[in-house]
Amino acid sequence: MTHPSTSTAPRILPAGDAALVVEFGDEISVELHDRVIALDQAVQTEGVLGVTETVPTYRSLLVLYDPGVIRGAVLAETLAIMAQKAGGRMQGSRLWHVPVLYGHDAGLDLDEMAKMKGMTTQALIALHGSVDYRVYMIGFAPGFTYLGGLPETLHTPRLTTPRQLTSAGGIAIGGAQACIGALPSPSGWRFLGRTPLRSFDPAREEVFAFRPGDMIRFHPVTENEATALDARSAKGEICADYEVAG
Amino acid sequence: MTVQDAGRRGMLRFGVSGAGPMDPDAMRMANALVGNPADAATLEFAFFGGAIRFGDDRMVAVCGAVRDLRIGGNPVAPWQSHLVRAGQEVTIGAMAEAVWGYVAIGGGIGTQPVLGARSTHLRTGIGGIEGRTLQAGDMLPLGGAEPMPMRKLGAPWRVRSGAIHVVPGPQDDRFGATAVTVFLRGPFTVTQKRDRMAMVLDGPRIHAEMGHDIVSDGTLPGSIQVPGSGQPLVLLSDRQTTGGYPKIATIASVDLPRLAQMVSSRPFRFTAISQSRAEDMLIAHRDSFSRALAEVETAR
């Protein structure tokens, strides 16, 4: 199947007087996201005078600028050229091996989900860990990591009544999306467990673990292993390994 | 009341919103009046101030439309600095026809910076004192300050009136021409549902022809989201960094503090301008604010 939208020029839209949205399309797809990340990397590495910050999301890049340094109209032309040059080449994506304590206190929906899907809890855990997820976006709250690539069997609507407070490091499913939470927060997502890894820790030298464009692979750990990993996290360690893909 | 400085930068991509003042000019002017750098940490309050007792002699300026401001029981004027003696109390009453006010103290609030700023972000629980609203009995550390004369503004503090300027987009095309017309006709008021994250507006309902769900993307202070209720939501400094509602327009930077300061009963309208025009207005505003800072003079 071809993706005609991935080869067309992005739409560049005004967002007030100090930001532009470079929009590559309207849907969630690997191809569109590759282009978002490729442009983001080009802006980050080459630098554009007057650009203060960028926010990569599923299918668009938000570019903040200082109009006292560069005007939106000029920046739009620059970004159009950069997007064309960058294409869909993403560099230095990392594959993270993320430990998960399934079930227990944080995995409030694990057993219920297994029942809904007519499979054993073990089979559901195996299925959740059987694929590599892509980090599409970090948003909503610090370190909250939106993942794509959830096996279709696991697609599940959100709860009709959100919970007031869910666990830190929550591993959850919402519709066709998966996530790694960071801080405790209200949520209508369905929680399978939690990771001892802290995707956000303001006291740590490397404050954020994941970047948009990274890949995630989950593996189950026992309660004892999770406790040991919690202790490492508390000391300021990012307790997961990753490998860098080409 | 929370601790606020200029806020955090560069971490929107990791879900960290900037926080920072609702009315940056008022905060910066308060700092200038006490001899602080413009972006030093201040105390921001909404609707009502409170009482602050001082442990040593300090210059203090309150910027905001406060009705009753006293030092040691004696009425004093906002928008100028005063010397407060050790043991004296500054009491700040209710706001008149405005929402946000700032207390700048010589030397600045010296709480521990988190991720490059002292600003409190309540939702995340970072910055200020334990990432929360200040409570009676809290002790605030202050930075060092040199003795200096009292200062006042060179000219009265003026805020523009009239319609709130917006730049249509980025998703105005999802609404259709009728909805945009209804939006620009208004009028709207700010409802009581308002905090540092967002303000819900009341007025004509806005219906997006192409639906009220988009694939989530980045948000800004001043983004006007319209959820399925049709009631526009103006996002502010403490907002979530991404959102899944279409954004019909973005408020011009020069007018966002004015809207944040608007009391909940007063009707207003939006007027659409181009991005380039809004940039011109912002650049001109920066120039005039720089002049106002330069005109701060010694009070007699």
Q: What is the pLDDT of residues B193-243, one digit of tens each?
A: 999 999 999 999 999 999 998 999 999 999 999 999 999 999 999 999 999
Is residue A88 pLDDT above 90, yes or no? no
What integer pLDDT is reported at residue B280 of this predicted model? 98
Taking an 8 Å cut-off on Cβ atoms, the answer to whether A142 and B15 are in contact is yes
Candidates B122, B275, B287: best to mutate against A (most CBs of A within 10 A) is: B275
Query: Using CB atoms and an 8 Å cut-off, which of residues 109-148 of chain B contact chain A?
Result: 114-115, 123-126
Per-residue pLDDT of chain B (300 residues; tens, 9 = 90+): 999 999 999 999 999 999 999 999 999 999 999 999 999 999 999 999 999 999 999 999 999 999 999 999 999 999 999 999 999 999 999 999 999 999 999 999 999 999 999 999 999 999 999 999 999 999 999 999 988 999 999 888 888 899 999 999 999 999 999 999 999 999 999 999 999 999 999 999 999 999 998 999 999 999 999 999 999 999 999 999 999 999 999 999 999 999 999 999 899 999 999 999 999 999 999 999 999 999 998 887
List CB contacts (< 8 A) between A137 and chain B. 216, 242
Give the residue from chain A lying closest to B283, CA to CA: A68
Which residues of chain A make contact with B123, given a CB cutoff of 8 A? 141
pLDDT digits (tens, 9 = 90+) for A175-214: 888 999 999 888 889 999 999 999 999 999 999 999 999 9
Asked if B217 and A64 come within 8 Å (Cβ–Cβ), the reply is no
User: Is residue A126 scored above 70 in pLDDT?
Assistant: yes
Give chain B positions within 8 Å (CB) of A209: none
Contacts across the A-B interface (CB distance below 8 Å)? 138
Pairing between strand A19-23 and B270-272? unpaired
CA distance B20 to A67: 20
What pLDDT, on the 0 to 100 scale, is given for residue B284? 97
3-state class of A30 per DSSP? helix
Q: Which long-range contacts (CB under 8 A, 24 or more apart) does B178-185 make?
A: B179/B206, B179/B207, B179/B208, B179/B209, B179/B248, B180/B248, B182/B206, B183/B232, B183/B248, B183/B249, B183/B270, B184/B269, B184/B270, B184/B271, B184/B272, B185/B269
pLDDT of residue B4: 98
Q: What is the mean pLDDT of residues A104-132?
A: 96
Please tell me which of the candidates A68, A138, A208 has its beta carbon nearest to residue B283: A68
Say yes or no to pLDDT of A243 above 90: yes
Q: How close B181 comes to chain A (CA, Å)?
A: 19
> Could A56 and B276 be called an inter-chain contact, meaning their C-beta atoms sit closer than 8 Å?
no
Nearest CA in chain A to B8: A53
pLDDT tens-digit series, residues A2-45: 444 446 899 999 999 999 999 999 999 999 999 999 999 999 99
Nearest Cα neighbor of A89 from A44, A37, A43 is A37
Q: Between B170, B223, B286, which is nearest A68 by CB? A: B286
Closest approach of B135 to chain A, Cα-based (Å): 23
Kindly list the residues from chain A whose CB atom is less than 8 angstroms away from the CB atom of residue B126.
202
**pLDDT tier at A246, thresholds 50, 70, 90:** low
In Å, how far is A226's CA from the nearest CA of chain B?
Answer: 24
| A242 reaches B (C-beta below 8 A) | no
Mutation target to probe the A interface, by most A beta carbons within 10 A, among B223, B279, B283, B290 is B279
Q: Are strands B297-298 and B151-152 parallel, antiparallel or unpaired?
A: antiparallel
Q: Which amino acid is present at A87?
A: G
